[in-house]
Amino acid sequence: MRLTAGTPQRPRAVGLVPEAPEVEVPAVEVEVLRIPKLVRKDLVAEWLDVSEDTVDRLVKSGKLRRADLSSNVVRFRVQDVLEFIERSVEAGA
């Protein structure tokens, strides 16, 4: 039985249970998703499955917040979009 640092050692019942053979586990490549903190209006519209005009109406009604980075650059915080979705689901339930 191989132990690595920090692995607690379990007591074995000697002679009662045969030790399992060691198996080689192949390395698995894992893709890490990086979620940005700010997203464009077109992505918000895609997430909500609505048009960009509907996103504008949600902002105008105060239901969805946006971040004005400059006079012509508008982004939405992912957290604000997720909170909007959660509120919408709760209201519909």
pLDDT in tens, the chain (93 residues): 555 555 566 655 555 666 777 878 778 887 877 878 999 999 999 999 999 999 999 999 999 999 999 999 999 999 999 999 999 988 875
Indicate the burial class of 75 (C-beta count within 10 angstroms; 0-12, 13-18, 19 or more): middle
Q: How far apart are CA 37 and CA 76, in angstroms?
A: 8
**Is this structure's pTM higher than 0.75?**
no
Give the β-pairing of 74-77 and 38-39.
antiparallel
Q: Name the token pair of 58.
A: 């949600």
How wide is the angle at C-alpha 18 spanned by C-alphas 14 and 21, nearest 5°? 125
**Domains of the chain, residue spans:** 38-92
* Contact criterion met (CB below 8 Å) for 66 and 75: yes
At the second CATH level, the architecture of 38-92 is Orthogonal Bundle (1.10)
